[in-house]
Amino acid sequence: MSPTPESLRGNWNYPTSIRFGVGRIKELPEACKSLGMTKPLLITDPGLAKLPMIQNALKLNQEAGLPTGLFSDIKPNPVGRNVEDGIAAYRKGRHDGVIAFGGGSGLDAAKTVAFMVGQTLPIWHFDDNGPGWKDASLAGIAPIVAVPTTAGTGSEVGRATVILNEATHTKVILFHPKMQPSIVIEDAELTVGLPPHVTAATGMDALAHCLEAYCAPGHHPMADGIAIEGIRLIKEYLPQAFADGKDLVARSQMMIAASMGATAFQKGLGAVHSISHPVGALYDTHHGLTNAVMMPYVLAFNRSAIEERMARLAAYLGLPNPSFQSVMDWLLAFRRQLKIPHTLKELGVGPERADEIAKMAEADPSTGSNPVKAGAAEMKKMFLDAVEGRLP
């Protein structure tokens, strides 16, 4: 039996408490109150702040006796100053909780604000490259309700955020278990207005998370299982959501696939993200789109270590002649179907900063779990291959 929007509804904890289903944004006031909020701050990006969905959310809370502030001074790739301004708004309004509302930028900035309102150490101290998270003060961290409006980053279930350090021009992954929202409301109706190109780019971000998590070395069968089912959902439903943005079944399935990707990548990521992070920091490209472009070039580099895994994945996906090559052929065709560029050059990224990007990629926290060891030289080759469109 084919799923319907009504059948795609449920509550689960994994470990985040998720309220999944069309129309469930109506539960926002109760979710906030259940975490002890009396005056939350809704944090989102400036584009969403102008849309009816945000005004509707504020009105829902107001009518429930829950006055809610709004902060939206966030860049598409959020920077440290956005977080500092959000902290100032939180304290000035005497808020007692955060509603993280939006796509990856809104969610990451909001989660970081909620975490940092309780800290005295600087934001960059909590870089995931080191043990700084152990120094966090737990008492003042604000509770978080997350409301994703894209199906991509999966940040709504994650314990990390990505914030751009403008002083060093690097994207920094910040980590602490308390960055994980306590309650998530996943309502596919909130994603209906996404244009096709954003639907494709964010959906490919979810695919990158699932695919890199599955390829990462180490023994984590639970993450592997979640990752391959996430890939199957994306294979089946992203083209449908891309073709018809009002398809609530496709939108719902993509929302859960995005959360599955972020759940799976606790196992690790890889060079797709290692290279996409500095490219995004230096060229301000869309993260999901950059991941989408990088994916086949990194897969080709990792082939020797993932060949057997790709054959199993191909069989699960029902691809003909299950093998590494069948996955690669499907991926390239899938990108064309979604109108994803084949090269970084098409995103305005040239070879002129290859050495700088390679060094930044080598130092990225995602690099340690790439299936094949990759230093600056290997990162440079993958980057230049992606600029020029070279695949074996």
Q: What percent of the chain has pLDDT over 90?
A: 88
**Backbone conformation region of residue 76, classed left if phi is above 0, alpha if psi is from -120 to 50, else beta:** alpha
Higher per-residue confidence, 216 vs 171: 216
Distances (CA, A) of 43 to 40, 60, 179, 243, 369: 10, 16, 15, 30, 32
Q: What is the pLDDT of residues 254-300, one digit of tens each?
A: 999 999 999 999 899 999 999 999 999 999 999 999 999 999 999 99
∠ CA 10-15-17, nearest 5°, is: 40
- Average pLDDT of 72-89? 95
- Average pLDDT of 85-94? 97
Residue 385 predicted with pLDDT over 90: yes
Q: In this predicted structure, what is the pLDDT of residue 77?
A: 86
Cα–Cα dist 245/229, whole Å: 22
E strand or H helix at 162:
strand 160-165
Q: In this predicted structure, what is the pLDDT of residue 7?
A: 87
192 in Cβ contact with 177 (< 8 Å): no
Residue 362 predicted with pLDDT over 80: yes
Residue 39 predicted with pLDDT over 80: yes
- Average pLDDT of 347-355? 97
Q: In this predicted structure, what is the pLDDT of residue 98?
A: 98
- Average pLDDT of 250-256? 96
What order of strands is seen across the sheet that includes strand 98-102?
10-13, 17-20, 183-186, 144-148, 98-102, 41-43, 69-71
Residue 355 predicted with pLDDT over 90: yes
57 in Cβ contact with 147 (< 8 Å): yes
Residue 171 predicted with pLDDT over 90: no
Name every residue whose Cβ is closer than 8 Å to that of residue 230 and which is 6 or more positions away in sequence: 206, 209, 210, 257, 260, 261, 264
Residue 1 predicted with pLDDT over 80: no
Q: Which residue has the tokens 């993450």?
A: 223
Predicted TM-score (pTM) of this structure:
0.92
- Average pLDDT of 52-69? 97
- Average pLDDT of 228-243? 98
Domains and CATH numbers, the chain: 10-190 (3.40.50.1970), 195-388 (1.20.1090.10)
- Average pLDDT of 224-250? 97
Q: How far is CA 149 from the centre of its chain?
A: 11
Residue 390 predicted with pLDDT over 90: yes
Phi, psi of 299 (to 5 degrees): -60, -45
Is residue 351 packed enough to be buried (19+ CB in 10 Å), middle (13-18) or exposed (0-12)? middle
Q: What is the pLDDT of residues 191-218, one digit of tens each?
A: 998 999 999 999 999 999 999 999 999 9
Q: Of 8-12, 55-59, 177-181, which range is least confident?
A: 8-12
- Average pLDDT of 81-91? 97
Name every residue whose Cβ is closer than 8 Å to that of residue 251 and which is 6 or more positions away in sequence: 151, 188, 189, 191, 192, 241, 245
Q: Where do the H-state alpha helices sit in 6-51?
A: 28-34, 46-49
**Backbone conformation region of residue 321, classed left if phi is above 0, alpha if psi is from -120 to 50, else beta:** left
Higher per-residue confidence, 347 vs 1: 347
